[in-house]
Amino acid sequence: MEPTPPRTTGGFATRAVHGATVPPVGQHPVSVPIHPSATWGTATSAEVGDLLTDEVAGYVYGRYDNPTSTALHAVIGSLHEAPAAWSAASGTAAIHAVLDVLRGEGRVLATAMLYGGTWALLRRLERDAGWKVDHAPLLTAADLRAALTDEHTVVHVETIANPSTAIADIPAIAAVCQERGVELVVDNTFASPVLCRPVTLGATAVVESATKFLGGHGDVVAGVVAGSDELVGRVREHVYELGGSLGPFEAWLVVRGIQTLALRVRQASANATAVAAELAAAPRGVVAVHHPSLDAHPQHAMVPTMLSGLPGALLAVDLGSRPAAEAFADACRVFVRAASLGGTHSLVLHPASTSHRQLRDDELRLAGLGPGTVRLSVGVEETEDLVADVRHALAAADDHAA
């Protein structure tokens, strides 16, 4: 296909609109360019129709696709060792698309240790769109067998639960799903592809909030999905028809962030391990510390087998009471009191009053947290500064308790 010939002649206003001709570049730029064009010229009118109906490959309209997003899809597919990948305007939009495509007319079975925003999404879809959704603890094959019925068409689990850091046995869960002919979606946001690649473990699809580790700098909201060509084709259609496509600037920020993903996740995991050790060694005030690096973590043995040997950057600490948890969070000087996770900045959050505020008390308990739970997303600052910060915050929580 010949590109539309650039027009550099005509009157002033015509040249102002058409005069910025793009030179043909026969080289590969080292960095991915941002393509903000919302629409693409063709040589003939018929070609526009062919592009819109996918009869020829190419770009036609920004809501469908753009070259910067294509670059993001390529790197996500590569990191997840999946045939194809797609993106959406948020992790939530990506979860909605992949679950809607896979559920057909059946019921959705989702883990009870679910990210708060996904609870809200599923509750709305039940209320407004007639979805049928069930929740159960889904960490093991036995958990899944106990909850799965013939009406379920899709199972949704999270690799590492928020905030308990409980690890789901993805290979075992995937084996049950395959045996029962049920699709498996894994929200791998807390792990990132550095720790876990669920499609290689038998999941139908992996979904991630790229707002977190993939973007990694707290400056973009985005979501990605990876899986088979057939599934990703259906997700693509769902995303552009419902209008939740990712913009090229956001796609570019995620592509840029991913270049340092492995470095950031390794350093953040090491920092989180040091912080978890400091909290676990506290003489008083700490009821429990949840981090996969600790021997006491129920799935500690899965770190080398399922998480590539890295315990991850998220941890939770139970300080026994809401006032102690609030005093701890309020005393932090390096950890920033903020929502989100997976970025360069260390963040502290009190889930019961923030990320999990949508949950009723029984749902809170199912999600594995209490009023005194504080979640830490450990960043890439100096280890010593982070350890000193939690030591100081613990003292403040202790003063409060005393």
Min CB(160)–ligand PLP separation in Å: 8
Which residue(s) pair with 108 in the sheet? 133, 154
List all residues 6 or more positions away from 178 whose beta carbon is below 8 Å from its beta carbon: 202
List all residues 6 or more positions away from 231 whose beta carbon is below 8 Å from its beta carbon: 84, 98, 101, 102, 204, 205
Min CB(223)–ligand PLP separation in Å: 5
DSSP 4-62: PPP---SSHHHHHHH--PPPP--S--SSPPP---SB---SSHHHHHHHHTTSS-S--BT
What is the sign of the dihedral through the CA atoms of 155, 158, 163 and 169?
positive
Q: Closer to ligand PLP at the Cβ: 67 or 117?
A: 117
List all residues 6 or more positions away from 54 whose beta carbon is below 8 Å from its beta carbon: none
Question: Residue 308: which of 391, 186, 189, 196 has the closest Cα?
Answer: 196
Q: Closer to ligand PLP at the Cβ: 118 or 245?
A: 118
Angle at 181 between CA 178 and CA 186, to 5 degrees: 60
Q: Closer to ligand PLP at the Cβ: 223 or 370?
A: 223
The three-class DSSP label of residue 347 is: strand
Min CB(112)–ligand PLP separation in Å: 14
Residue pair 147/96 in contact (Cβ under 8 Å)? The answer is: no
Question: Residue 84: which of 266, 224, 242 has the closest Cα?
Answer: 224
Q: Closer to ligand PLP at the Cβ: 189 or 271?
A: 189
Q: Closer to ligand PLP at the Cβ: 66 or 192?
A: 192
Residue pair 374/119 in contact (Cβ under 8 Å)? The answer is: no
Rg (CA), the chain: 23
Q: Closer to ligand PLP at the Cβ: 163 or 371?
A: 163
Q: Closer to ligand PLP at the Cβ: 157 or 276?
A: 157
The site for ligand PLP (CB under 6 A) is made up of: 90-92, 115, 117-118, 158, 162, 187, 189-190, 209, 211-212, 221, 223
**Both tokens assigned to 144:** 């899944």
Q: Closer to ligand PLP at the Cβ: 235 or 324?
A: 235
Alpha helices, DSSP H, located in 149-280: 170-180, 192-195, 229-242, 248-258, 261-280
Give the CB-nearest residue to ligand PLP.
91
Min CB(187)–ligand PLP separation in Å: 5
Q: Closer to ligand PLP at the Cβ: 192 or 293?
A: 192
Min CB(7)–ligand PLP separation in Å: 41
Q: How far apart are CA 260 and CA 265, in angstroms?
A: 9
